């Protein structure tokens, strides 16, 4: 198995390291337009292998020929958020970057599975889908895995319980309109509403929605440890054909009342990428939130089309 990570910045380098340390593929290729950057980071990671005890070979390159015949590609290329910026502020610039790198990669690895991390996530996944020409089961976005990780971390801190015992689900777009579902959130099988008052749950939900922005305000740039680990978890589910059900940005074709759009939904991952979109019954209020979130993604896609046609 061969995994390519496009973009050797903080997120991309973290993805590459997390995948390598799982020791589940033969090779990780880290590619970037900056000469020397992916080569240096790959060399640094390779020299950590005797300490972390992994045998995955890590290659840094500026040439897409080196990515040929990859099984999975993680796209992290793009501009990072700065204080005061929303994910949508990155729309036009990152769309051009994602379109370009996707086309170059797809030309060398036509049978690969693509995981998009670049923001704004749901729209960039749509861009990669259109640019690659791949079937929808082989293109997805990393959003819900990161968002549920933040959600679970906040719940763990509040209740003083292990994150291992917390299962959670979020749907909708990645960002301020995401749709956390507390009634599908459990601690060792116990529904969250039985362990925490509604006002506290709502506060955690709101903090989760703006979790990325909170980090941007503190550091002056986007997060990378949790996003990198989240993407690597998706890679692992595909490589191992594990059938794990994770919340991912996937192409909906009527599910949850949505048509022809990439948005977060519970997804069974395996060797073919998206093996199944897991259907759950949403309440009227949850469906309304899902519709609002999906409409926000559609608005951004239309905005992108206007930018591209200008």
Whole-number Cα distances in Å, 277 to 3, 70, 133, 236, 253: 24, 25, 20, 18, 10
Spatial separation of the C-alpha atoms in residues 161 and 70, rounded to whole Å: 40
* Secondary structure element (H or E) that encloses residue 259, with its range: strand 259-270
Q: Is there a catalytic annotation at residue 174? A: yes
Spatial separation of the C-alpha atoms in residues 263 and 86, rounded to whole Å: 18
* Secondary structure element (H or E) that encloses residue 238, with its range: helix 225-239
Phi, psi of 308 (to 5 degrees): -70, -30
- Residue 282 CB partners (closer than 8 Å, separation 6+): 181, 256, 290
DSSP, collapsed to helix, strand or coil, labels residue 143 as: coil
Write down the catalytic residue from 52, 108, 174, 292.
174
Q: Hey, which residues are catalytic here?
A: 174
């Amino acid at each position: 198995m061969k995994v390519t990570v496009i973009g050797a910045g903080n997120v991309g380098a973290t993805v590459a390291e997390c995948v390598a340390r799982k020791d589940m593929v033969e090779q990780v290729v880290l590619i970037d337009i900056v000469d020397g950057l992916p080569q240096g980071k790959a060399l640094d990671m390779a020299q950590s292998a005797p300490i972390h005890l992994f045998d995955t070979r890590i290659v840094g390159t500026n040439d897409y020929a080196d990515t040929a015949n990859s099984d999975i590609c993680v796209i992290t290329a793009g501009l990072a958020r700065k204080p005061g910026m929303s994910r949508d502020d990155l729309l036009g610039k990152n769309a051009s970057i994602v379109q370009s790198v996707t086309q170059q990669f797809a030309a060398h690895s036509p049978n690969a599975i693509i995981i998009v991390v670049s923001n704004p996530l749901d729209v960039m996944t749509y861009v990669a889908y259109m640019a690659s020409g791949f079937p929808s089961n082989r293109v997805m976005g990393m959003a819900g895995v990161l968002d549920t990780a933040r959600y679970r971390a906040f719940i763990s801190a509040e209740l003083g319980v292990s994150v291992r015992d917390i299962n959670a689900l979020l749907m909708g777009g990645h960002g301020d309109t995401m749709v956390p579902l507390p009634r599908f959130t459990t601690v060792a099988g116990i529904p969250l509403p039985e362990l925490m008052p509604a006002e506290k749950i709502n506060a955690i939900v709101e903090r989760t929605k703006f979790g990325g922005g909170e980090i941007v305000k503190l550091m002056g740039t986007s997060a990378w440890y949790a996003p990198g680990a989240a993407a690597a978890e998706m890679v692992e589910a595909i490589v191992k054909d594990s059938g794990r059900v994770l919340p991912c940005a996937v192409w909906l074709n009527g599910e949850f009342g949505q048509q022809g759009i990439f948005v977060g939904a519970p997804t069974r991952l395996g060797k073919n990428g998206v093996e199944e979109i897991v259907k759950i019954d949403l309440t009227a209020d949850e469906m309304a939130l899902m519709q609002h979130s999906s409409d926000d993604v559609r608005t951004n896609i239309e905005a992108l089309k206007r930018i591209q046609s200008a």
